[in-house]
Amino acid sequence: QRLLETMQVGVPEGRVPARIFNDQAVYERERERVFGRVWCFLAHESEVPKPGDYVTRYIADNNVIVARTERGDLKASLNMCRHRGNMMCKSEMGNSSHFRCSYHGWVYKNSGELIGVPYFKEGYESKLDRKQWGLVPVRTETYAGLVFGTLDPDAEPLEEYLGGFQFYLDIYLKQGPGGSVVHGPPDHWVAETDWKICVENFSGDGYHTPVAHQFGFHLGYFPSSGATHSQGWAAHIPGKGHGIGLGHTPGMPPFAGYPPELVAQMGETLSPAQMEVFSKTRTAVGSVFPNLSFLIQPFSLVPGEPGVRFCTMRLYHPTGPGRMEMWSWCLVPAAASDEYKEAAYKAYTLAFGQAGMFEQDDFENWTRLTRVAGSSVAKHLEFPYVMGIEREPLSDFPGPGHVVSPYVTDTNFRGLWGTYTDYMLKES
Ligand code: FES
Ligand code: FE
């Protein structure tokens, strides 16, 4: 509590305690006060297109089944048998109209109703009301194909939660008719890293790119005009914790890395203001509070040649202090050609798949940083978050939120940690 009260004062002044990045008590409070209340990303609708399709994901430490029912709607339920609490579904994705518990054999429809109980007559003598013992439903709402769930019955509607960030989210999610869809299964791995470091980085850390990823430039995998890529904009939605960094590279043609017909299709689903922002953006890296991030990035499959722009969506799920599970998806425009989709998927895999070269650069740093944050002296120290602290917001930017330029700044991070502290301190 004292740490968070210090943080409440420190963040607006540009200070964040190291301890939040690796601490048992912080983790336990996050589980209740952040992940127990926010809208958590569960799945993209395109991952479960057919009746019976399902994926399993988490809200806090609760495993959730997201399934397409026989009627075609989406249902999310806790992956917990109501008899004695066994985890019923053991795979991460698949297709099944029913789930049967491997302990005593209770059977549920994928919509959650309990329909089968062994020895129902002989054992329970009809004293068990099956209607009462269906799977625990999880409240869900959807935005542009993204399915979110919350454990908080009083959580604000999803659209309100996303607020003005929808303007920026659409750039990732509404790329032409049919929107953006998931291509291939997600990469999924564990890391000895705190989830918050990843979110901070993906809220617009353009500062690390030329150093941590310098070999990407040296080897010619990052198409660049040679101009500094520190230019561009950082935008966050005050009070919401969502932030985006929009990197601009002077001299690069607008929409470089997208086929022209795809750009024309994007113009059908994005507004003129969104297209204007997108046209000036080389890299768009943003996060929905607390732990869902996106990145659009050009990448050259053949070093030195013009790149292809790919989009990745990633989720950082905390599993303990300084420990997390990571999911990473490739998103492609539904309307794009198969050729573009394959090229984008290759670029994504090489750059930000599980063994992607930039993914490795980042986790190498994040893992060590996490370890140090838990050390006896470091855990009592603070970090400076003063970059751009006196920078005035722009009044003429086409997109919403608090927008500053250039995007190398801690502005978005102060917004992120302010929202985080509010959730952690709020009793209800
Ligand atoms: Fe599932 Fe007993 S725990 S049937
Ligand atoms: Fe990085």
pLDDT per residue over 120-178, tens digit each? Answer: 999 999 899 999 999 999 999 999 999 999 999 999 999 999 999 999 999 999 999 99
| Cα 369 to chain centroid, rounded | 21
- How large is the average pLDDT for residues 252-281? 96
Q: Give the pLDDT of residue 319.
A: 97
Of all protein residues, the one whose alpha carbon is nearest to atom 4 of ligand 1 is 104
Q: What are 270-279's contacts with CB under 8 Å, separation 24+?
A: 270/170, 270/171, 270/174, 270/175, 273/167, 273/398, 273/399, 274/167, 274/170, 274/171, 274/398, 274/399, 276/398, 277/168, 277/171, 277/246, 277/397, 277/398, 277/399, 278/171, 279/254, 279/255
C-beta of 424 in contact with ligand 1 (< 6 A):
no
Output the CA angle 338-341-342, nearest 5 degrees: 85
Burial group, residue 338, by CB count within 10 angstroms (0-12, 13-18, 19+): exposed
Work out the mean pLDDT of the chain and round it to a whole number. Answer: 96
- How large is the average pLDDT for residues 354-378? 96
Which ligand number lies closest to the CA of residue 293? 2
Q: Give the pLDDT of residue 228.
A: 63
Pocket test for ligand 1, best of 98, 106, 107, 124 (most atoms within 8 A of CB): 106
Across the strands, what pairs with 62? 59
- Whether residue 406 is preceded by a cis peptide bond, meaning omega within 30 degrees of 0, is yes
Q: In what order do the strands lie in the sheet with 139-143?
A: 40-44, 146-150, 139-143
Structural Rg of the chain based on CA atoms: 22
| Cβ-based neighbour number of residue 98 at 10 Å | 15
- How far is 138 from 234, CA to CA, in rounded Å? 34
C-beta of 81 in contact with ligand 1 (< 6 A):
yes
* 251 pLDDT above the threshold of 70: yes
C-beta of 84 in contact with ligand 1 (< 6 A):
yes
Atom of ligand 1 nearest to the CA of 84: 3
In the chain, the amino acid numbered 138 is: V
CB–CB of 235/402 below 8 Å?
A: yes
| Percent of the chain at pLDDT exceeding 70 | 99
CATH topology of domain 164-425: Naphthalene 1,2-dioxygenase Alpha Subunit; Chain A, domain 1 (3.90.380)
Of all protein residues, the one whose alpha carbon is nearest to atom 2 of ligand 1 is 104
C-beta of 103 in contact with ligand 1 (< 6 A):
yes
pLDDT, tens digit (0-9, with 9 covering 90-100), for 29-50: 999 999 999 999 999 999 999 9
pLDDT, tens digit (0-9, with 9 covering 90-100), for 47-79: 999 999 999 999 999 999 999 999 999 999 999
Cα four-point dihedral sign 295, 178, 354, 197: positive
- How far is 136 from 419, CA to CA, in rounded Å? 29
What pTM value is reported for the model? 0.97
pLDDT, tens digit (0-9, with 9 covering 90-100), for 87-130: 999 999 999 999 999 999 999 999 999 999 999 999 999 899 99
C-beta of 100 in contact with ligand 1 (< 6 A):
no
* 225 pLDDT above the threshold of 80: no
Q: Give the pLDDT of residue 216.
A: 86
Give domain limits for the chain. 40-143, 164-425
| Cβ-based neighbour number of residue 273 at 10 Å | 13
Please report where in the chains the tokens 């302990």 appear, as a residue: 103
pLDDT band at residue 229 using 50, 70 and 90 as cut-offs: low
| Percent of the chain at pLDDT exceeding 90 | 93
CB–CB of 282/320 below 8 Å?
A: no
- How large is the average pLDDT for residues 397-404? 98
Q: Concatenated DSSP letters for 3-29? A: HHHHHHHHHHHTEEEGGGGS-HHHHHH
Burial group, residue 401, by CB count within 10 angstroms (0-12, 13-18, 19+): buried
- How large is the average pLDDT for residues 255-267? 96
Pairing mode, if any, of strands 74-78 and 93-95? unpaired
Separation of CA 159 and ligand 2 centre (Å): 29
In the chain, the amino acid numbered 112 is: G
ipTM at complex level: 0.97
Q: In what order do the strands lie in the sheet with 98-100?
A: 98-100, 107-109, 114-116
Four-way CATH pick for 40-143: 3.40.50.10420, 2.102.10.10, 3.40.309.10, 1.20.1250.20: 2.102.10.10
- By C-alpha distance, which of 388, 379, 428 is closest to 412? 388
